[in-house]
Structure 1
Amino acid sequence: MFSRFAVALTTLAAAAVCFMNGAEARGSSPIGISVNSSSHKKTFNKLNRRGRDDDEDIFEGKATWFIPHKHDGEIGACGEYEADDDWIVAMNADQYGDMDEVSDEVCFRKVRIYHEDKSVDALVTDACPSCDYGSLDLTQVVFQELGKLKTGVLDITWEFLN
């Protein structure tokens, strides 16, 4: 009973914030609210993440892009075939772990990547030995959801979804 009340209260609060800021309800988030602008998104994310230790869950870094068949082959560090148009990322070496083994910590985990007012979900299937801690190497299709390929590098934040 209490958890239903908490969900209803959170939904109502998020809807009120969105309404006051001119956003519209769309039903794409876990509680039914989608916010388009970055300032609205930050407010919504604070409401949506209530009860989580955000400092440990959100990572900051750079996003670069790669083409699997041209950069280090079509078999990723996690041992699976990677097509050039797959929605996948390569994890930085520090967070991946031992580069000579399949990482039980990160392989096949879903991540949500944020850049400005955009976000995209992808699956970790590879490792990026040259990426700094917090950084990810994205396939072109994933990178293009956040920015233009010619940009080359984007400032990102990201989190594991599972």
Structure 2
Amino acid sequence: MSRVAALFVLFVCAMLSLASPLQGNVTATELDKRVTHVGRGTWYYPSGSEGNCGYWDSNSEPVVAIGIARYDANNGANCNQWIEITNTANGKTAYGKTRDSCESCDTSSLDMSPALFEEISTLATGEITISWHFMAAGWSP
């Protein structure tokens, strides 16, 4: 009977080790890229000023400003991370690079350069509903 008990204990230990997560240190930034957000999409002129990430970008580049609360919560860790953005009204999708923070945006809203906004809507529209998520670190279109 003790041989059966030993095999049972060995089996239970093997099953528990397989059920354990492989990665214990998942950062907020890594979790955030798995979440799809729905919010307000607007546009702004990044030219002429340095973004919060420390870069000077032009209006023709596909750049994004994320809400200041999200930027501050991650200590700017999302700088240079690409975001997939979809206009929920027409289904058009574009990619923008995080380069700034937006004072008037909540955590689910984005401010986009004119070039990026025009990939999914017209500037005359001004404000749209978007769904978006961060792409994996290091990814680029």
Structure 2 length normalisation: TM-score? 0.67
How many positions carry a matched residue from both structures?
104
Identity over aligned pairs, percent: 30
Residues 121-140 of structure 1: pairs in structure 2 closer than 5 A: 121-140=95-114
Equivalent residue for 2:84?
112
Whether 1:81 aligns to 2:59 is no
> Which has the larger Rg?
2
Match in the other structure for 1:58: 36
CA positional deviation for 1:93:
1.2
Question: Cα RMSD (Å) of the superposition?
Answer: 2.3
Q: Can you list the C-alpha shifts for 1:77-135, whole angstroms capped at 9, x where unaligned?
A: 0001111111100001121116xxx9442111000001131100010000001111200
In structure 2, runs of 5+ residues without a counterpart are 1-30, 137-141
Q: Which runs of 5+ in 1 are unaligned?
A: 1-52
1:78–1:103 CA contact under 8 A, matched in 2 = no
How do 1:1-162 and structure 2 match up within 5 A? 57-69=35-47, 73-97=48-72, 103-116=75-88, 117-162=91-136
Aligned equivalents of 1:122 and 1:154: distance in 2? 16
Question: Shift in Å at residue 74 of structure 1?
Answer: 2.4
Whole-angstrom CA distance in 2 between matches of 1:150 and 1:92: 22
Please identify runs of 4+ aligned residues in structure 1 that moved more than 4 A.
none
- Using the alignment, how far apart are the partners of 2:56 and 2:70 within structure 1? 21
